[in-house]
Amino acid sequence: MSSIAGIGVDLSQVSRFRRFLEQGNEGLIDRVFTPGEKAYCLPKRDPAPHLAARFATKEAFLKALGLGLREGISWQDMEVVRDELGKPSLALAGRAEVICRERGIAAIHLSYSHDGDYATATVILEKA
């Protein structure tokens, strides 16, 4: 029988990411987003909502885990990926993957959305 191990929700402001892009803050973009996320978002006509949604997803995951960026987890350990139909999921690497495995996390459920100046994400961690 499975059970919920954690739930996290986050809200991000799209204009914040638009400002980062306009200011050429590539260091921050490179630190927070994986090469795959940047390859998906940056060619978009307006990449800011897509970046904000991915940031909200990462924050929601960290809240669900209850750790924040502690115990060696980095922004690069979490990547929003999409399947061939566009359904998003969260791929883990590094310490995030190890911690989830140690905690018996069997599944990560993700939903995100962006509209206007806000992006939101919900992450649910499920134990086996």
Rounded Cα–Cα distance for residues 13 and 31 (Å): 18
Would you tell me how many other CB atoms lie within 10 Å of the CB of residue 77?
22
- What's residue 69's pLDDT? 83
- What's residue 68's pLDDT? 82
The answer on pLDDT for 70 being more than 90 is: no
The answer on pLDDT for 118 being more than 80 is: yes
Question: What residues contact 74, with CB distance under 8 A and at least 6 apart?
Answer: 94, 95
Q: How far is CA 82 from CA 67, 88, 89, 94, 111, in A?
A: 25, 4, 6, 20, 11
Q: Count structural domains, the chain.
A: 1
> Which residues span the domain enclosing 78?
3-127
- Provide the mean pLDDT of the chain: 96
Sign of CA dihedral 111, 10, 78, 42: positive
Kindly report the CATH number assigned to the domain that includes residue 14. 3.90.470.20
Average pLDDT over residues 13-35: 96
